Structure 1
Amino acid sequence: MKKMLRKFLFWRVKHISNQHFTILLSGVVGILAGVSAVLLKETVHALQHLLQGSHTELYETPYYILYPIIGILLTVIISRYIMKERVGHGISDILFNISQKSAVMARGKTWSRMMLSAITVGFGGSVGLEAPIVVTGSAIGSNLASMMHLDYNRRSLMIGCGSAAAIAAIFNSPIAGVIFAIEVILSDISVSAFIPLLIASSVGTLTSLALGSHEIMFSFKHIDAFSASDAVWFIGLGAFCALISVYFTRVSYFVEPRLHNIKHYALRALAGGLALAFIIVLFPSIYGEGYETIKALLNGQGHEVFHFAGFFFHNSGQGPYVLIAMLAGILLLKPFATSLTIGSGGCGGIFAPSLFLGGIAGFLFATVINLIAGYTLCSPINFSLVGMAGVMSGVLHAPLMGIFLIAEITGGYALMVPLMIVSAMSFFVSMLFEKHSIYTKKLIERGQIFQDDRDGQVLNSLNISKLIETDLLKVLPTATIEEMIPLIKESKRNIFPVVNEEGHLRGIVTLDDIRELMFDETKRKEVVIKTIMHKPHAEVDPTEHMRNVMTKFQRTGDWNLPVIDKENDNQYLGFVSKARIFNAYRTKLQRQQHKV
Structure 2
Amino acid sequence: HINAVVIAAVSAAVTAKTLLGDDKLLSAPAHELQNAPELLLYLLLGLLAGSLGVLFVRMLKMAHTIRVPKRFPQMVRPLVAGLIIAGVSIVRPEILGTGRNVVESMVGLDTTVGLVWTTLLFLGVLKLAMAAVTEGGYGAGGVFMPSLFAGAALGAAFAAVVALVWPLTALSPGAFAVVGMAATFASVARAPLTAIIIVFEITGDYGLVVPLMLATTVAMVIADYFSPDSAYTMPLTLKGIHLQKPEDIDLLDTVTVGEVMSQPGTLPPTMTAKAALDCITEGRHHGLPVVDDGKLVGILTLTDIANRHEELDTALVQDLMTSKPITVVPSMPVSAALARMAALNYGRLPVVSDNDRTTHVGMFRRESVVRAYHQALSDSTGRHMYRDRLKQRTHPGASFYEIPIPRNSSAAAQSVRDIRWPDAATLVSIRRGSAVIIPHGDTTLRSGDVVTAFGTGESREELAWIFSQSEEDTEDE
**Taking structure 1 as the reference length, what is the TM-score of the superposition?**
0.42
Q: Structure 1 389/345 Cα, relative in aligned 2: closer, same or farther at 3 Å?
A: same
DSSP-derived class of the 1:437 partner: coil
Aligned to 2:181: 388
Q: Which residue of 2 aligns with 1:354?
A: 147
2:186 alignment partner AA: S
Tell me: CA distance 1:545–1:215, structure 2 relative to 1, closer, same or farther (3 Å). farther
Are positions 1:344 and 2:153 aligned together?
A: no
Alignment match of 2:191 (pick from 390, 398, 403): 398
Partner of 2:471: none
Match of 2:100 in 1: 291
1:508-547 aligned at under 5 Å gives the runs none
Q: Where does structure 1 lack aligned partners over 5 or more consecutive residues?
A: 1-192, 304-317, 471-538, 569-596
Computed over aligned residues only, the root mean square deviation of the Cα atoms, in angstroms, reads 4.0
Residues 220 and 410, structure 1, Cα contact 8 Å, conserved in 2 = yes
Q: Partner residue of 1:250?
A: 58
Match of 1:235 in 2: 43
Q: Deviation per CA, 1:170-219: give whole Å up to 9, x if none.
A: xxxxxxxxxxxxxxxxxxxxxxx433422331232122112233224112
Counterpart-to-counterpart distance in 2, 1:376 and 1:210: 43
In the TM superposition, 1:169-568 aligns within 5 A as 193-258=1-66, 260-261=68-69, 263-300=72-109, 319-320=114-115, 323-373=116-166, 377-452=170-245, 466-468=391-393, 555=437
**Partner Cα distance (1:344, 1:464) in 2:** 41
Q: Which has the larger share of helix? A: 1
Cα distance change, pair 555–222 in 1 and its aligned pair in 2 (3 A): closer
Gaps of 5+ in 2: 250-382, 396-420, 440-452, 460-477
The change in CA–CA distance for 1:266 and 1:371 in structure 2 (over 3 A counts) is: same
Offset of 1:395 from its aligned partner? 0.9
Evaluate the alpha carbon distance shift between residue 449 and residue 326 of structure 1 in structure 2; reply closer, same or farther with a 3 A threshold.
Answer: same
Cα offsets for 1:451-496 (capped at 9, x unmatched): 427699x98xx699734379xxxxxxxxxxxxxxxxxxxxxxxxxx
More strand by share: 2
CA contact (8 A) 2:50 2:183 kept: yes
Alignment check: 8 A CA contact 1:226 1:414 kept: no
Write the letter of the residue equivalent to 1:423. Answer: T
Distance 1:223 1:257, change over 3 A: same
Q: CA deviation at 1:392?
A: 0.8
Structure 1 position 267, deviation (Å):
1.8
1:432 & 1:563 partners in 2: Cα distance? 31
Conserved? CA contact 1:396–1:438, under 8 Å: yes
> Would you say the 8 A contact 1:362–1:380 is kept in 2?
yes
Corresponding letter in the other structure for 2:51: L
Which letter does structure 2 place at the counterpart of 1:355? L
Q: Measure, in 2, the Cα distance between the counterparts of 1:224 and 1:408.
A: 15
Provide the C-alpha distance between the structure 1 equivalents of 2:454 and 2:188, rounded to a whole number of angstroms: 40
The structure-2 alpha-carbon separation of the partners of 1:464 and 1:213, relative to structure 1 and needing over 3 Å to count, comes to farther
SS of alignment partner, residue 334 of structure 1: helix
Q: Which amino acid aligns with 1:354?
A: S
Amino acid at match of 1:250: R
Q: Structure 1 pair 208/468, CA: closer, same or farther in 2 (3 Å)? A: same
How far did residue 540 of structure 1 move? 12
Query: Counterpart of 1:4?
Result: none
For residues 162 and 10 of structure 2, the distance between their equivalents in structure 1, rounded to whole angstroms, comes to 40
Task: Name the CA distance, whole Å, in 1 between partners of 2:100 and 2:207.
Answer: 23
Once the two structures are TM-superposed, the CA of residue 248 in structure 1 deviates from its matched residue by 1.0
1:379 partner letter: S
Q: Distance in 1 between matches of 2:248 and 2:427?
A: 14
When residues 295 and 395 of structure 1 are mapped into structure 2, their CA distance, relative to the original with a 3 A threshold, is: same
Is the CA contact (8 Å cut-off) linking 1:259 and 1:344 kept in structure 2?
no
Structure 1 segments (4+ residues) deviating >4 Å: 259-263, 453-456, 462-465, 539-549, 553-557, 562-565
TM-score normalized by structure 2? 0.52
Change (3 A) 1:261 1:358: farther
Cα offset, 1:442, TM superposition: 3.9
Structure possessing the higher radius of gyration over alpha carbons: 2
How far, CA to CA, are the matches of 2:134 and 2:59 in structure 1? 13
State the Cα deviation string for residues 149-189 of structure 1 (Å, max 9, x = none): xxxxxxxxxxxxxxxxxxxxxxxxxxxxxxxxxxxxxxxxx
CA distance in 1, matches of 2:26, 2:455: 55
SS in 1 for 2:243: coil
Q: Does the CA-based 8 Å contact 2:39-2:211 persist in structure 1? A: yes
Which whole-Å CA distance do the structure 2 matches of 1:200 and 1:360 have between them?
32
Work out the CA distance in 2 between the residues paired with 1:402 and 1:351. Answer: 10
Q: Deviations over 1:493-546 (max 9, x none)?
A: xxxxxxxxxxxxxxxxxxxxxxxxxxxxxxxxxxxxxxxxxxxxxx99875698
Distance 1:216 1:463 in 2: 49
- Identity between Structure 1 and Structure 2 (%): 26
Q: Is the 8 A contact 1:235 1:425 kept in 2?
A: yes
Looking at structure 2, the residues matched to 378 and 546 of structure 1 have their Cα atoms a distance apart, in angstroms, of 59
Counterpart residue type for residue 194 of structure 2: M
Partner AA of 1:254 in structure 2: M
1:469 to 1:291, Cα distance in 2 relative to 1, 3 A: closer
Secondary structure of the corresponding residue to residue 164 of structure 2:
helix
> What corresponds to 1:580 in structure 2?
none
Separation (CA, whole Å) in 2 of partners of 1:547 and 1:450:
20
- Structure number with higher relative contact order (C-alpha < 8 Å, ≥ 6 residues apart): 1
3-state SS of 1:373 partner? coil
